[in-house]
Amino acid sequence: MTQEQINNTLDFLKEKFDKDIQLAESGIERKMLEMEYSKNVELVKAGNNIFESKSNDSDYECIGCGS
């Protein structure tokens, strides 16, 4: 990610966090939002795109799930 992308993502995360924290109905919900926000900021600052779709391609098959 470029520095501009990182800054834009951090701005977006802060705005989303501020809105979500105001809507939180319990202390545990606020704590979960704070932890999620902190982790996302950490990942973004490290240059990771947290919105990138992760592929589920795996060498392992789910046993009994009908795959």
3-state DSSP: the chain helix, strand, coil percent, rounded to 5? 60, 0, 40
What are the structural domain ranges in the chain?
A: 3-45
- Please name the amino acid found at residue 30: R
The end-to-end CA distance of the chain, in Å, is 35
Give the pLDDT of residue 10. Answer: 96
Token readout for 49 is 């795109």
d(CA 59, CA 67): 13
pTM of the model: 0.74
Does pLDDT of 64 surpass 80? no
Token readout for 48 is 């990771």
- pLDDT (tens digit, 9 = 90+) per residue, 4-63? 999 999 999 999 999 999 999 999 999 999 999 999 999 999 999 998 876 665 566 666
Give the pLDDT of residue 28. Answer: 96
Give the pLDDT of residue 58. Answer: 59
Does pLDDT of 67 surpass 80? no
